[in-house]
Amino acid sequence: MDMSSIWYYWASGALGILIFLTVGIKKWRSKRLPPGPFALPLLGHLHLLEPNVHECLSKISEKYGPLMSFKFGMKTSIVVSSSSMAKEILKDNDQTFANRSIPVVARCIAYDASDILWSPSGPRWRLLRKICVKELFSPKSTEALQPLRREEVRRTIGNIYKDSVKGVSVDVGAKAFMTSLNLITNMMWSTSTETGERGMEFKDLVGELVYVLGVPNASDLFPFLERMDVQGLYRRMQKVFVRFDRLFDSIIQDRMSGKSKGQDFLQSLLDLVERGVDEHDPDSVQLTMKDVKVLLMDMVTGSTDTTSNTVEWAMAELLQQPEIMQRAQKELEQVVGLDNIVEERHLSQLPYLDIIVKEILRLHPALPLLAPHRPEKDCEIGGYIIPKDTQVLINVWSIQRNPKAWKDPLVFDPERFADSKWDYNGRDFDYFPFGSGRRICAGLSMANRMVHYALASLLHSFDWSLPVGEKLNMAEKYGIVLRKAVPLVAIPKPRLLQPNLYD
């Protein structure tokens, strides 16, 4: 073989290797995870986490960017901290990210993750969501249930009035929680939890459920520990589930035996079970008794703590800035009058109250990291690859405090929403407290109305102040629902002109 031939083969081989390496490097780069901090063996990035996880992840994103990769134990998680990255996931790739990453304890409490929040996107999930939207959250249903909301809010105001006459301070969050729980159960099966032996049990169970869901679980981080349940969280949640299930069985049995009656959500569900599959709808799915209990569970657990915490945060922020509270009360005086109580028909005439609620949900979104998403396949986001079945956490708390989108983002300033485009539809990714895309909160309209009505009633009926010598603690406590670390306790002073208005 002459030198020219050797040179030719050597050059061809070198070129082939170069092409191979170039393509390989490009392919490797295209499949790499987003950047993230240095990870320890086995623990991954757990050593970096602080009690308020949402705030900790927000600080880390300042160094590593809006799309970060973490290893929490053996579990890979992607954290999103910018509106542009959130848009790519929740709008541009909505279908791919429509499923959930399910915590171990949620598989127990949610009837094997078969509820609206955790179940995979598909015909059955669409049926459950459609039932909620049509039977409970439609404009017709919302209007029909107005007397129930009025009754429950008035009952709360009456109870607070009795405390105010005695000079007793009030746990605002606890009052708002019981109002929400009473309202939801009354809407579900026409019985308030304040009456009957089931009342306190429901209250205890909802509180226990939210707490256990918010505790970091080693079984989620190290799957090989799941069988051992080293923290006992699954066993603890299983006890909650069994008690819930028994309560729902007894409620359903009372209705089916004729012991209880009502044209409510429960009755609508039982009618759908009896009706069976719609032969004219190819996507129709048979609703079962298990589905009935799933939906009752969703409504009771998903609508109480989130609503009451939003009201509590609102009252706390207003106590910090009494001039804003006074302006809201002046608006209420002009629209409602101190010789009358707040009615839902007044809400549309209270624009200042509306922007207060919007600002509260910007600063204190109920779910700071939303519910975790899970891609059904590898997907490219922001030039990086998000692997199939990775847990994706969207830090809406951080996004809604971004100084590039919001002036003085840490300041409570309702005026930033005056004459603005912002609403709750999830289409603008600088502000989406209820989520976005096909998994946006199904009860958005009802939650919004409940918060507005409860807050308006508290502000119109009473002047509020802190107990003498007390300072307002605005620290947050991270969990699946964002809470105040220290419950808000305040002193109410009646404002209405006639005492009988509190009856």
Query: Out of 179-183, 328-332, 366-370, which region has the weakest mean confidence (pLDDT)?
Result: 179-183
More confidently predicted of 2 and 311: 311
Tell me what pLDDT residue 26 has. Answer: 39
Tokens (6 digits) for 95: 């279908």
DSSP string, 391-445: EEEE-HHHHTT-TTTSSSTTS--GGGGTT----SSS-STT--TT--GGGS-TTHH
Instruction: Report d(CA 205, CA 211) in Å as an integer.
Output: 10
Asked if the model's pLDDT at residue 288 lies above 50, the reply is yes
375 inside domain: yes
- Mean pLDDT along residues 180-193: 83
H or E element: which one contains 373? strand 373-374
Asked if the model's pLDDT at residue 1 lies above 60, the reply is no
Percent of the chain at pLDDT > 90 equals 66
Asked if the model's pLDDT at residue 25 lies above 80, the reply is no
Asked if the model's pLDDT at residue 279 lies above 70, the reply is no
Asked if the model's pLDDT at residue 135 lies above 60, the reply is yes
Max avg pLDDT among 118-122, 180-184, 392-396: 392-396
Residue with tokens 């127990």: 108
More confidently predicted of 404 and 2: 404
Tell me what pLDDT residue 193 has. Answer: 65
Tell me what pLDDT residue 280 has. Answer: 57
Handedness of CA 30, 35, 38, 41 (dihedral sign): negative
**At 12, is the pLDDT very low, low, confident or very high (cuts 50, 70, 90)?**
very low
14 inside domain: no
C-beta pairs of 440-444 under 8 Å, 24+ apart in sequence = 442/116, 442/129, 442/132, 442/133, 442/137, 443/132, 443/136, 443/137, 443/299, 443/302, 443/303, 444/137
Query: Out of 121-135, 153-167, 194-208, 333-347, which region has the weakest mean confidence (pLDDT)?
Result: 194-208
**At 19, is the pLDDT very low, low, confident or very high (cuts 50, 70, 90)?**
very low
- Mean pLDDT along residues 198-205: 81
Tell me what pLDDT residue 364 has. Answer: 97
**At 9, is the pLDDT very low, low, confident or very high (cuts 50, 70, 90)?**
very low
Q: Say if pTM beats, i.e. exceeds, 0.75.
A: yes
Tens-digit pLDDT profile for residues 459-499: 999 999 999 989 999 999 998 889 999 999 999 999 999 99
Percent of the chain at pLDDT > 70 equals 91
Asked if the model's pLDDT at residue 4 lies above 60, the reply is no
Asked if the model's pLDDT at residue 30 lies above 50, the reply is no
Residues contacting residue 9 through CB under 8 Å, at least 6 positions apart: none
Tell me what pLDDT residue 124 has. Answer: 87
Max avg pLDDT among 19-23, 144-148, 383-387: 383-387
Tell me what pLDDT residue 189 has. Answer: 86
Number of domains in the chain: 1
H or E element: which one contains 170? strand 170-171
**At 374, is the pLDDT very low, low, confident or very high (cuts 50, 70, 90)?**
very high
153 inside domain: yes
63 inside domain: yes
**At 184, is the pLDDT very low, low, confident or very high (cuts 50, 70, 90)?**
confident
422 inside domain: yes
Instruction: Report d(CA 129, CA 240) in Å as an integer.
Output: 24
Average pLDDT score, the chain: 89
Tell me what pLDDT residue 195 has. Answer: 54
Tens-digit pLDDT profile for residues 418-449: 987 788 989 999 999 999 999 999 888 888 99
Provide the domain limits for residue 275: 41-502
Residues contacting residue 283 through CB under 8 Å, at least 6 positions apart: 123, 126, 127
**At 196, is the pLDDT very low, low, confident or very high (cuts 50, 70, 90)?**
low
220 inside domain: yes
> For 386, which DSSP code?
E
Tell me what pLDDT residue 11 has. Answer: 45
We report the CATH number of the domain holding residue 425 as 1.10.630.10
20 inside domain: no
Tell me what pLDDT residue 142 has. Answer: 81
Task: Give the amino acid at 343.
Answer: E
Max avg pLDDT among 3-12, 249-258, 269-278: 249-258
Tell me what pLDDT residue 31 has. Answer: 57
Instruction: Report d(CA 332, CA 461) in Å as an integer.
Output: 10
- Mean pLDDT along residues 136-149: 84
Tell me what pLDDT residue 24 has. Answer: 37
**At 23, is the pLDDT very low, low, confident or very high (cuts 50, 70, 90)?**
very low
302 inside domain: yes
Asked if the model's pLDDT at residue 345 lies above 90, the reply is yes
Tell me what pLDDT residue 302 has. Answer: 84
Tell me what pLDDT residue 369 has. Answer: 96
